Amino acid sequence: MSTVLADGSVQWMEVRADGSMVEASAPAVMLPAADAPAPRAGQSSPSGQSARAVTVLNVPFAEKDEAKQLGARWDPKRRKWYIPAGVDAAPFSRWTGAGN
């Protein structure tokens, strides 16, 4: 959920299963995989991102088993679920903000 503040900035909130809200990052961003090596000088993919980029998900704790069953993986460094490269993103749309 997002809220536009008086200064025009956007604040993202995650609504937890118990109804509480905590500040969160924007959903569905493309980030390089945490274990992806840094690109060598002069080398990059056509999009400018690592070939191992992943889509970060905002999965409530109560839905983590479902996300895992669909193929999502947990990134302990970011403490977020993500869609690994090569996995169809369509089943994860409710956690990416796609279609909202």
- What is the reported pTM? 0.48
Residue 4 per-residue DSSP state: E
Residue 22: CB partners within 8 Å, gap ≥ 6?
13, 14, 16
Rounded to 5°, angle at Cα 38 from 40 and 23: 150
**What is the share, in percent, of the chain residues with pLDDT greater than 90?**
24
Looking at residue 40, its pLDDT comes to: 53
Distances in whole angstroms, Cα of residue 41 to Cα of each of 3, 31, 38, 44, 54: 39, 19, 9, 8, 22
For the stretch 10-44, pLDDT in tens is: 666 777 777 777 777 666 555 555 555 555 555 44
Contact 80, 92 (CB under 8 A): no
